[in-house]
Homo-oligomer: A and B are copies of this chain.
Amino acid sequence: MTTQSESAAIRGAHTVTMSDVAQQAGVSSATVSRVLNGNYPVAQSTRDAVKRAIDDLGYTANAHARALASSSTHSVGIIVNDLVDPFFSYIVRGVEQEAATTGRLCIVAASQGDVDREIELIDRMISQRTDAVIVVGGGYDDASARRRMAERARTLAGIGSALVLCGRPSVGENVPTKIVGYDNEGGAFAVTEHLISQGHRRIVYLGGPVGLSTSVARLAGYRRAMQSHGFEVTPELVRQGAFGRRFGHAAMSELLDARLDVTAVFAANDLVAAGALDAMTAQGVRVPEDISLVGYDDIPQSSELTPKLTTVHVPLEDMGRESVRLALSRTDDAFGRHADGEIIVGTRLIVRESVAAPAAVPWGHR
């Protein structure tokens, strides 16, 4: 048997191309293309000969030549802030899965939350002519960024691809984007309501970058719930900053040191909650006996904290999958114009162990 490596060695370092295969099989390259793509009738005998030649030569089609000659590149692009943050990695997992299911490869890039970098990465994806470019996570209310994003959206729509905003608000009317979102305001409202229903009224909102759409919306939901019950949201009750564990820890420590009179904490996401929990545990504050705590996102780790975290579930992986499905579904109308597509996934309160009725005497005031 002639193995791939042997023949490669015999033939030298020249890359094996389709016409090599054609020649070896005694057919034309068109025929090789046909058996490869299986989208056209080819005699069984010819097919076999071609397959044998492919094997013997160790031929692997050049995806670039293919992309150039045909249309689809069989790839999707995804841009996230950070690949190790569970929020993003679960979404990436969903995207990769759905891409694989549809025979596509997945190009991922991390923007580190830098807007310019993000645009730059979108441009690189455009260069790659990916079948979709998925941008994940909240954005800032920045007119320039929005305008540049809109330009890319148009370019992508123009080449038959699509820009999908996953967990990010629209960048403007009449901009051809697809959106996969979830209800940040509503979820925040619900979880705050839950706290209030347990008797809390001095609730602090902790974390989330100032101005980031996601955290703006969560804060709004919190505010609406508080106000609908006539509870005042004093400035000291709102502690924004970042979405990480570290911030949660630092901000909570500070809060505790200040002996602020609060009975519950709404952390802007689960990571912040985890950090806050650490800080409380370190200072001997019991959750939920002394202070109740809730988070947002329901990343799997949340149910592994002690106590298990009450939070708002967001179907991250599904959002990833939906993003590619939506992008791939052609929504052009009869005139070839690109219509908008939008999916809002459901969000729901997950009650676990981190909430209880407020302590008779608040922590730090005994």
In the bound complex, do residue B128 and residue A105 qualify as a contact, i.e. CB atoms below 8 Å apart?
A: yes
Does A257 have its Cβ within 8 Å of any Cβ on chain B? Answer: no
Q: Mark A81-107, 1 if CB is under 8 A from B, else 0.
A: 011101001101100110010000111
In the bound complex, do residue B306 and residue A123 qualify as a contact, i.e. CB atoms below 8 Å apart?
A: no
Specify which of B58, B109, B155 is in contact with A58 (CB 8 Å cutoff): B155
Number of identical protomers? 2
Q: How far is the CB of A131 from chain B (nearest CB, A)?
A: 13
Q: Which of A313-366 contact B (CB under 8 A)?
A: 336
Does A67 have its Cβ within 8 Å of any Cβ on chain B? Answer: yes
Specify which of B58, B93, B109, B155 is in contact with A8 (CB 8 Å cutoff): B155
For A337, give the chain B residue with the smallest CB separation: B13
- Given contacts A4-B155, A13-B336, A336-B13, whether A63 and B304 have CB atoms under 8 Å apart is no
List chain B residues, Cβ under 8 A from A61. 127
Q: Mark A267-292, 1 if CB is under 8 A from B, else 0.
A: 00000001000100100000000000
- Given contacts A15-B159, A64-B67, A151-B3, whether A107 and B107 have CB atoms under 8 Å apart is yes
Main DSSP-derived SS at the A contact region: helix
For A92, give the chain B residue with the smallest CB separation: B83
List chain B residues, Cβ under 8 A from A65. 64, 68
Q: Complex: how many Å from CA A72 to CA B150? A: 31
List chain B residues, Cβ under 8 A from A90. 84
In the bound complex, do residue B107 and residue A105 qualify as a contact, i.e. CB atoms below 8 Å apart?
A: yes
List chain B residues, Cβ under 8 A from A64. 63-65, 67-68, 73, 128-129
List chain B residues, Cβ under 8 A from A227. none
Does A60 have its Cβ within 8 Å of any Cβ on chain B? Answer: yes
List chain B residues, Cβ under 8 A from A97. 110
14 extra interface residue pairs, beta carbon distance < 8 Å, beyond A64-B65, A83-B93, A107-B107? A15-B158, A60-B155, A62-B129, A63-B124, A63-B127, A64-B128, A64-B129, A75-B107, A83-B83, A96-B108, A106-B108, A107-B108, A281-B306, A301-B301
Q: Complex: how many Å from CA A127 to CA B65? A: 10
Instruction: Give me 20 A-to-B residue pairs in the complex whose CB atoms sit less than 8 angstroms apart, sorted by A's number.
Output: A5-B150, A5-B154, A8-B154, A8-B155, A13-B336, A15-B158, A58-B155, A60-B155, A63-B64, A63-B124, A63-B127, A63-B129, A64-B67, A64-B129, A65-B68, A84-B90, A106-B107, A107-B108, A108-B108, A274-B304
